Amino acid sequence: MELYCGNIVYSKSKNELVEYSNAYIAVENGVVEGIYETLPEKYKRLPCKDFGEDVIIPAFTDLHVHAPQYPQRSLAMDEVLVDWLDKYTFPLEAKYKDVEFAKAVYDSFINEIIAQGTMHAVVFGTIHNEATGYLIDQLEKKGISSYVGKVNMDMNSPDYLCESTESSIRDTEKFIDKYINNKYSKPILTPRFAPTCSDTLLEGLGKIAKKYKVGIQTHIEESIWESNEALKQHSNSNCDMEIYEKAGLLDNGPVIAAHFIFPKEKDIDILKRYNGYAVQCPDATVNVIAGIMQTGVLMDKDVNLGLGSDISAGYDLCIHTQIAQAVQLSKIKSFYEPENRKISFAEAFYMGTKGSGKLFGNVGSFEQGYSFDALVISGVSDEFEELSPIQKIERFCGLGNKSNIRARFMRGQEI
């Protein structure tokens, strides 16, 4: 049993943040046993680590991140998407053929994702098995709850970053087979998006999904171009989600739909039917100007929503800034498209913690039985104005950085 004292903030429901001042959190075998405003008699002789005025919050979940794009973060953000892909992103991803390059990047990526307070993630690799294997191995070693995918792309891609349909399917099965029994970092199918994947490829992946019981991450209705191109290439379907449903890719494990900016009603129906997650990546979708997710509308339809850093379309690996940006973008969205409502800070915080964490089980909150994956936030107060614990966290999301994370706990262990 471990005891911690301090301010505590977490999401109880999608629009309710709970705060405690100078309370105690008891952790047993890495799991929250309870929160106490007054310490119960039975715990009074236990040592207690006191975080004073600092605030203990759940660690973040990043539902959409391209690990190989880490070297390119915050660069060329004034380009348009097609130039950004052709001049920077695709040539960079091609470099992961070189596993030594991959090792250097992925070691830094993993250190940084932990530094930024993210302990659960859904991660794109590249088309390369060996490099992506190194990535999943290291995430497993560090104990980061994650899904990691070897990317598939057999058409509509540059020559130097395009697979044959057969090798794409074969390599994917090898990858899934090798890592299917991982404990923390599990493999997931990762067709890049519908425009770069043939029907034959998707059918092949569907068979793997069924055989190994694995889920899928991909980009869904992410831009007007993508939506249209997907239907041109897959003319039997009427929306992005239907393409994957027809390929048998949705009923074998988690379904993570990145972006989901222009969903048709049918996309929403299908996503909900399979209990999938739609992932907003606030900075990213503006930087490549795909559009802005209708977060308020989707939340009111009870779609599972999470946040993604989506480097390197996003600036950096932090989720706390994306919580602030999710609120900001909901205001722009409602300004230009008034049928959309703004979302609250509590709703955005839920998207970055409990709402997305549930993909990984009891993660992202501090209710009894939740994994004590936690951050201690400090250094956001002034001496001339007292802030409530929730205000401290709101300020951290607005202007803080990783240096405000004073301590990190994963499954109860300080790391």
> What tokens were used for 238?
């009427």
- Nearer to its own copies by C-beta: 114 or 359? 114
Q: Give whichever of 101 and 184 is closer to its own copies, judged by the CB atom.
A: 101
Cβ at position 213, least distance to its own copies in Å? 36
Question: What is the CB neighbour count within 10 angstroms for residue 165?
Answer: 18
Q: How many CB atoms lie within 10 A of CB 265?
A: 9
CA–CA distance, 93 with 90 (Å, rounded to integer): 5
Closest distance of CB 198 from its own copies, Å? 30
Cβ 208 to its own copies shortest distance, Å: 32
- The pair of structure tokens assigned to 76 is 């060329």
Torsion sign (Cα): 202, 206, 211, 213: positive
For the bound state, the minimum distance from the C-beta of residue 315 to its own copies, rounded and expressed in Å, comes to: 4
Please report where in the chains the tokens 């008891």 appear, as a residue. Answer: 26
Q: Are 87 and 38 in contact (CB under 8 A)?
A: no
Q: What is the dihedral of CA 387, 393, 395, 396, to 10 degrees?
A: 130
- Please state whether beta strands 31-36 and 118-124 pair in parallel, antiparallel, or not at all (unpaired): unpaired
Least spacing, CB of residue 229 vs its own copies, in Å: 18
Shortest Cβ distance from residue 192 to its own copies (Å)? 22
CB of 300 to its own copies, least distance (A): 16
Applying CB under 8 A, which residues contact its own copies? 70-78, 80, 101, 104-105, 108, 283, 286-287, 289, 291-292, 315-316, 324, 327-328, 331-332, 334-336, 342-345, 348, 382-385, 387, 391, 394-395, 397-399, 401, 403
- 379 or 412: CB nearest its own copies: 379
**Least distance (Å) between residue 398 CB and its own copies:** 3
β-strand partners of 61: 120
User: In terms of CB distance, is 159 or 385 closer to its own copies?
Assistant: 385
Q: How far is CA 317 from the centre of its chain?
A: 10
**Which of residues 68 and 263 has its CB atom nearest to its own copies in the complex?**
68
**Which pair of tokens denotes residue 36?**
């106490």
Residue type for position 339 = E
Q: How many CA atoms lie within 13 A of 192 on its CB side?
A: 23
Residue closer to its own copies by CB (options 293, 327) is: 327
- Which ranges of 218-342 does DSSP label H, i.e. alpha helix? 224-233, 240-246, 265-273, 282-287, 295-300, 320-336
| Nearest in space to 121 (alpha carbons), one of 307, 249, 278 | 307
CA distance 270 to 251: 11
Instruction: Name which of 305 and 324 has its Cβ closer to its own copies.
Output: 324
Task: Pick the closer one to its own copies by CB: 46 or 289.
Answer: 289
